[in-house]
Amino acid sequence: MKKALFIFALVILAIVLPFFLPNSHDVKEQDRNLPWQIETDGQGGSKVLGLTFGVSTISDLQKQFGYEPEIAIIAAPGESGTLEAYYQQVTLGFVLGRLIVTTDLPPTQIAAMKERALKSEYMESSTRKYTLIPADLAIVTQTPISAMSLIPNSNLDEVAVVQRFGQPAERIQVTEKRVHLLYPERGLDIQVDGEGKELLQYVAPRDFARLREPLKAMPQTTANAAP
């Protein structure tokens, strides 16, 4: 029993430890484009995971990871929906996780693509996923990306996040178990969830209001400036 517990502890340590290790100037080739390596240009733009918001396209995303993501329109009832490129699992150096990349197509164009969709199917609740026809898919692959969401496989706590990303500019406690750590200068919102998976959301710093405004609108939110 003790041996089994020891092995289990080693496995957990191997998953979580990379988030605590100090940054190194001698970064291995396979450890580039890690989630905390965010490049900003001082003019409101940024580059994450080797991709530049508003410049890099879905086609560039495919080249970056070496294989095609699942591309579809995700829409709730009464909404035009969003165009998403989804990877069930990506390898970011020594970090594994799910990645969702979105683009900013006009609602009218998204609506037209939904009408032409090859098929649609229900996801969770009443949300539907629309599979695009080849002609629309070709258009989408040349569309610049606007946001990314990363869900790491390993569970993180606030200590691990601050160790890697530094102290946030703002901390928003949504529930007793869920908190948002905001880094507006890097266009990053990290949701730490004691009862679920963590979520890292990236946009260009100039677009950070897209992440901040929905949190401000939540009546149960208590905002605290970071120390």
- How would residue 194 be classed by pLDDT, with cut points 50, 70 and 90? confident
Please list the residues that pair with 85 across neighbouring strands: 71, 101
19-71 tens-digit pLDDT: 444 443 344 444 668 999 999 999 999 999 999 999 999 999 999 999 999 99
- Radius of gyration from C-alpha coordinates of the chain: 19
Exposed/middle/buried for 201, CB within 10 Å: 0-12, 13-18, 19+?
Answer: middle
The torsion angles phi and psi of 110, rounded to 5 degrees, stand at: -65, -40
Buried residues in 47-80 as b, exposed as e (16+ CB within 10 A): bbbbbbbeebbbebbeeebeeebebbbbbeeeeb
The model carries a pTM of 0.82
Strand, coil or helix: 81: coil
Strand, coil or helix: 25: coil
Q: Are 24 and 37 in contact (CB under 8 A)?
A: no
Share of the chain above pLDDT 70, in %: 82
